[in-house]
């Protein structure tokens, strides 16, 4: 399966602007997805503790399974200003 990945904020400096089509195994959790991203873009791991992930426009917990064809957004911490 594959998903459409969007990066936001300073993460685009690491992974580039998207969207990116990203292959994943079936029944892939958000945590497994992040590990795959860290393999492709190792600098993203520096942000692991604060990354926010949304699947199909809803924030997702790391144990949630990503459905085939989903749109997955990866965001840095939200900052006010």
Question: Mind listing the pLDDT tens digit for each residue in 23-36?
Answer: 999 999 999 999 99
Please tell me the pTM assigned to this model.
0.91
- The separation between CA 5 and the C-alpha centre of its own chain, rounded to angstroms, equals 6
**8 A C-beta contact, residue 5 and residue 20:** yes
pLDDT at 77: 83
pLDDT for the residue numbered 71: 98
Instruction: Classify residue 81: in a domain, yes or no.
Output: no
Residue 64 within a domain: yes
Has residue 53 been placed in a domain? yes
Number of domains in the chain: 1
The tens digit of pLDDT for each residue in 37-76 reads 999 999 999 999 999 999 999 999 999 999 999 999 999 9
Q: Which residues contact 75 (CB under 8 A, 6 or more apart)?
A: 7, 8, 9, 11, 51, 52, 53, 54
pLDDT at residue 17, rounded to an integer: 86
CATH number for the domain that contains residue 21: 3.10.20.30
Token duo for residue 72: 């997955």
Q: Residue 80: inside a domain, yes or no?
A: no
- What is the extent of the structural domain holding 20? 2-75
Do residues 70 and 51 lie in contact, with contact meaning Cβ atoms separated by under 8 Å? no
User: In this structure, is residue 6 part of a structural domain?
Assistant: yes
Q: So what's the pLDDT on residue 18?
A: 80
């Amino acid at each position: 399966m594959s998903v459409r990945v969007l990066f936001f904020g300073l993460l685009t400096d690491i992974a580039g602007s998207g969207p990116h089509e990203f292959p994943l195994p079936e029944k892939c959790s958000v945590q497994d997805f992040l590990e795959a991203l860290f393999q492709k873009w190792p600098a993203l791991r520096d942000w692991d503790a604060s990354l926010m992930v949304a699947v199909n426009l809803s924030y997702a917990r790391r144990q949630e399974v990503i459905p085939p064809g989903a749109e997955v957004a990866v965001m840095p911490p939200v900052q006010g200003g």
